Amino acid sequence: DGDDDCPPDVEALGRASWTLLHSITAAYPTRPSPSLQAETRAFLGAFARLYPCWSCGDDFGRWMRAEGGANAPRVASRDEFGRWMCEAHNAVNGKLGKERFDCERWEERWRTGWGDGRCD
Ligand code: FAD
């Protein structure tokens, strides 16, 4: 655990995966084409099916389909997608008893860096 040359456990895999997922939202266009939006939805479905912690991926897929579609990926703009990913991550945080993240701050954490310059 903690060794960069050992197979990842569920925690290391999760941290790496959230870094990728939030970074994808941070680099997402402000006005994505309809075809990119469709590809993004398809990616998230495939991601849930392929995620190499099966119970995690199953739960993530179920969460996306739950609430009569209210949790379905929102991919019509960077802002919408970034917030949706933050909510998805908060759903996992809640399941694991971790603190909720303030989704007003997703962009500072994953795109711009914090206002105090510590990420420059
Ligand atoms: P992580 O939760 O990995 O977060 C990394 C960093 O992201 C945090 O330090 C914080 O700066 C930031 N962050 C935290 N919350 C948010 C948010 N809501 N929005 C934006 N940024 C945020 N583990 C299990 O044990 N069981 C599961 O069922 C499970 N399901 C998972 C499903 C998916 C799709 C993924 C990607 C991971 C899953 N994990 C699961 C792993 C789990 O979510 C954590 O990654 C792991 O427990 C390590 O947690 P951590 O406390 O280091 O921070």
Residue 4 confidence (pLDDT): 79
Residue 2, pLDDT > 70, answer no
Dump pLDDT digits (tens) for 19-40: 999 999 999 999 999 999 999 9
Dump pLDDT digits (tens) for 62-75: 999 998 899 999 99
Pocket test for ligand 1, best of 23, 89, 93 (most atoms within 8 A of CB): 89
Residue 21 confidence (pLDDT): 98
Tell me which residue has its CA closest to atom 28 in ligand 1: 56
Residue 44, pLDDT > 70, answer yes
Give 7 Cα–ligand 1 centroid separation in angstroms. 18
SS (H, E, C) the chain: CCCCCCCCCHHHHHHHHHHHHHHHHHCCCCCCCHHHHHHHHHHHHHHHHHCCCHHHHHHHHHHHHCHHHCCCCCCCCHHHHHHHHHHHHHHHHHHCCCCCCCHHHHHHHHHHCCCCCCCC
- Whether the complex's predicted ipTM surpasses the cut of 0.85: yes
Mean pLDDT to the nearest integer, 82-105: 98
Please state the pTM of the whole predicted model.
0.97
How many other CB atoms are found less than 10 A from the CB of residue 86? 23
Q: What proportion of the chain, given as a percentage, has pLDDT over 70? A: 98
Ligand 1 contacts CB of residue 89 (under 6 A): yes
- All domains of the chain in start order, with CATH: 33-112 (1.20.120.310)
